[in-house]
Amino acid sequence: MKRKNIRIFVLGFVLFSAASAGAADAPPQRPSKACTKAELVGTWDMVSVMPILNKQDPTFFPYQKFMFKSDSSLKVMTSQKPFDAKALAAFKAQPAEIDYSLDPKGTLTMTWSTRPHTEYAICAYVLQDVPPEMLKKIPAEKRAGVPKKGNVTLSFIGRGGKIAFQKVLKKVA
C-alpha cells in the first residue's frame, strides 16, 4: 500500500468510518469522536506524524510533548532526539505561550502569544482500536503510528482548508 493510501486509510478510519461493535444487532460504534476539553487536559507524547513534509521543520521532529492545561493554555516541546531529564525539567518550568480553544465539533484553535500566529486542527478522541483485519493491511513498520483507543489525533488544517498532516498523541500524565 502506498504511503498516501496508508495516510488516507488511517485518517478515514479515525475520522469517518464506522466499525462493527461485534454483535449482529448491536448498533455500530464510532471509531472516534470530537475531543472534549476534559479529555484533552494533560500531558501527551506524540506517537506519529504523517506525512512528514519537512524533516528540518520542528513541526515534524520525531519527539514531541504537549501539555494542555485546564486554563486553556498549551505548551509544546519538539526535538530530533529523545528528551532527557534536563529537557523535561525545562519544559515543566517554561511558561505556556499558546492559548487554545476547542469547540463542540472538535475544532482546536491554537494561538501563539509571542508571535501573531494561529493554527487549526480537528481534534478526535479515539474510541476503539483499528480492527485486526484492517491493521494487517498496513505495513508492519507503520503500525506503531496507527491511533489506538484512548489516543488523540490532531489533523492540522492547511491553507486550502484541507488536512495537511496528522499527529497521533498518547496521554502520559
Q: What is the pLDDT of residue 26?
A: 53
Q: What is the pLDDT of residue 18?
A: 31
Cβ–Cβ contacts within 10 Å for residue 79, how many? Answer: 14
Distance CA 82, CA 62 (A): 8
Question: For residues 73 and 96, is the Cβ–Cβ distance under 8 A?
Answer: yes
Multiple choice CATH, 3-19+31-171, 1.20.1070.10, 2.130.10.30, 2.40.128.10, 1.20.58.1610: 2.40.128.10
Query: Which cell goes with 124?
Result: 478526535
Q: In this predicted model, what pLDDT tens digit does every residue of 50-109 receive, in sequence order?
A: 999 999 999 999 999 999 999 999 999 999 999 999 999 999 999 999 999 999 999 999
Distance CA 150, CA 39 (A): 9
- 10 Å CB burial of residue 19 (0-12, 13-18, 19+) is middle
Q: What is the pLDDT of residue 6?
A: 42
Residue 28 has pLDDT above 80, yes or no: no
Q: In this predicted model, what pLDDT tens digit does every residue of 29-56 receive, in sequence order?
A: 789 999 999 999 999 999 999 999 999 9
Using alpha carbons only, what angle is made at residue 89 by residues 72 and 117, rounded to the nearest 5 degrees? 40
Quick one: average pLDDT of 145-161? 94
CA dihedral 167, 171, 172, 173 (to 10 degrees): 130
Alpha helices in the chain (DSSP H): 3-15, 37-40, 85-93, 132-135
Question: For residues 125 and 35, is the Cβ–Cβ distance under 8 A?
Answer: yes
Among 96, 106, 121, 95, which residue's Cα sits nearest to residue 39? 106
Backbone phi, psi, residue 153, to 5°:
-110, 135
